[in-house]
């Protein structure tokens, strides 16, 4: 086997190992999101039963600030963290509205 072929094989093995780690993290993220949505389902039911609004802008603002700081500490782009949280919050509010019978 040539040096180039050996280097290529080594690179492919390393690439596969890195991709396996990424796949494991993706699976963990999905499981964590599922857990998070179980809790937000309970929040939505509690809000609906007590006539509370589906959205809580003050909490959302605090959460964005907190997660941006966590992102910075973790050397992650805070804008990416905020976009991620905004997506999740939008889905949660959609679910809360559905639970409250405000929309489908």
Query: Residues 26-62: pLDDT tens digits?
Result: 999 999 999 999 999 999 999 999 999 999 999 999 9
Query: Is the model's pLDDT at 79 over the cut of 80?
Result: yes
In a domain, 2, yes or no: no
- The residue ranking higher by pLDDT, 99 or 18, is 18
Whether the Cβ atoms of residue 82 and residue 67 lie closer than 8 Å to each other:
yes
Question: Which residue is it, tokens 């489908």?
Answer: 104
Q: What is the CATH number of the domain that holds 94?
A: 1.20.59.10
In a domain, 4, yes or no: no
Q: What percent of the chain has pLDDT over 70?
A: 97
In a domain, 19, yes or no: yes
Largest CA distance in the chain: 72
Query: Is the model's pLDDT at 76 over the cut of 90?
Result: yes
Nearest by Cα to 36 from 103, 88, 98, 94 = 88
Give the chain's domain count.
1
| Whole-number pLDDT of residue 97 | 92
Domain holding 23, by residue range, is 9-100
Eight-class DSSP state of 74 = T
In a domain, 75, yes or no: yes
| Whole-number pLDDT of residue 39 | 97
| Whole-number pLDDT of residue 1 | 64
Read off the pLDDT of each residue in 87-92 and give the average, rounded to a whole number: 94
What's the residue count for the chain?
A: 104
Enter the tokens of residue 73: 């500490």
| Whole-number pLDDT of residue 7 | 78
In a domain, 3, yes or no: no
Q: CA–CA separation, 47 vs 52, rounded Å?
A: 5
């Amino acid at each position: 086997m040539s040096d180039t072929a050996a280097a290529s094989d080594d690179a492919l093995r390393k690439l596969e190992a890195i991709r396996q780690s990424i796949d494991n993290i993706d699976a963990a993220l999905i499981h964590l999101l599922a857990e998070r949505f179980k809790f937000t389902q309970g929040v939505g039911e509690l809000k609906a039963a007590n006539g509370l609004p589906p959205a809580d802008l003050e909490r959302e603002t605090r959460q964005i600030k907190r997660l941006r700081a966590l992102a910075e500490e973790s050397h992650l782009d805070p804008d990416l963290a905020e976009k991620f949280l905004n997506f999740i919050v939008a889905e949660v509010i959609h679910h809360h509205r559905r639970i409250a019978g405000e929309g489908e």
